[in-house]
Structure 1
Amino acid sequence: MALWNKLRDSTQNMQTQLMAKKNDLKSGAFRDASMAMCALVAAADGSVDPSERQRTASLIATNEVLQNFPADDLQRRFNDYLAKLTTDFDFGKVSILQDIGKAKKKPAEARAVIQIGIIIGGADGNFDDAEKAVVREACHAVGLSPTEFDL
């Protein structure tokens, strides 16, 4: 139970940090990297079941920071990234990490993308090893140390 409380507190803290930067997080690179991160975390174990897809889509639609962008556009991009991963996970992951890496130019956006990945990963109360591993890879793609995020 203590681990769940720590994860919940951590994700709530990250969401608060994101909200403080909401007005700075409006670029296309941030939008694309965020949707790529959401898809990568959702498919971290190599597959995406319908309930996982729906839960992630719901989180995207209700995340206040992501409301800077049209919901249907975010949904389309999320689904496009998921399609890449479900067609060929390894090849899709390389492509998606490149898109996430585009946020590297703006450190605030890069951190926000990683925080969104952690929030999505922890939404079900279980930020599992596969999800942590893909978020660590995303950290490297944007030039941030995973230790900054306790990964």
Structure 2
Amino acid sequence: MLEGLRTALGERTARHRNRPFLEACMATCALVAIADGEVSLSERSRVDDVLEAIDRLKFFDVHEAVDLFNTHVDAIVAEPVKGRKAALEAVKEMRHDAGDAVMLVKIALAISRADGDFLESERAQCEAICRVLGLDLRDYE
């Protein structure tokens, strides 16, 4: 019983500690996926791949993460300037951790290439993500 309590407490602590990273990841995915005006099935599938591939995100229910993604997408569609600003604020929270910042750029690029094309609108969102993180996209292309 004590071991189960420790495990539950450890998972709860990990979720709390990693919540800003989850939010930044889903904001990044949304910014790039909706850049061309619609989220393709391949982009949604790539979001699922991101959730499966990153250990720090495994503490979260996939539905919770997808709901965050959808919330950002809906906000960007409803009010593009305000929605993008809010998503970039979530991303900006990771600017003080170089590893997290680089991971977000890699995620942005993965989403942008999910459907085989790296559109100018997607590139612009990747550049915006890099700007708020203090990075240069050219270093990751």
Q: What stretches of structure 1 move > 4 A for 4+ residues in a row? A: none
Partner Cα separation in structure 2 for residue 147 and residue 100 of structure 1: 19
Q: Corresponding residue for 1:55?
A: 42
- Choose which of 36, 44, 54 in structure 1 pairs with 2:35: 44
* Uncovered stretches (5+) of structure 2, i.e. residues with no partner: 1-16
Q: Corresponding residue for 2:110?
A: 119
Partner Cα separation in structure 1 for residue 43 and residue 64 of structure 2: 15
2:71 is paired with a residue whose SS is: helix
Shift of 1:28: 1.7
| Residue type at the aligned position of 2:45 | S
1:105 is paired with a residue whose SS is: coil
**Residues paired across the two proteins, number:** 121
* Uncovered stretches (5+) of structure 1, i.e. residues with no partner: 1-25
**Identical-pair percentage:** 24
Q: Corresponding residue for 1:23?
A: none
Partner Cα separation in structure 2 for residue 125 and residue 57 of structure 1: 14
2:95 is paired with a residue whose SS is: helix
Q: How does 1:54-133 map to 2 (within 5 A)?
A: 54-63=41-50, 64-65=53-54, 67-68=57-58, 69-133=60-124
Shift of 1:118: 0.2
Q: Which has the larger radius of gyration?
A: 2
RMSD: 1.6
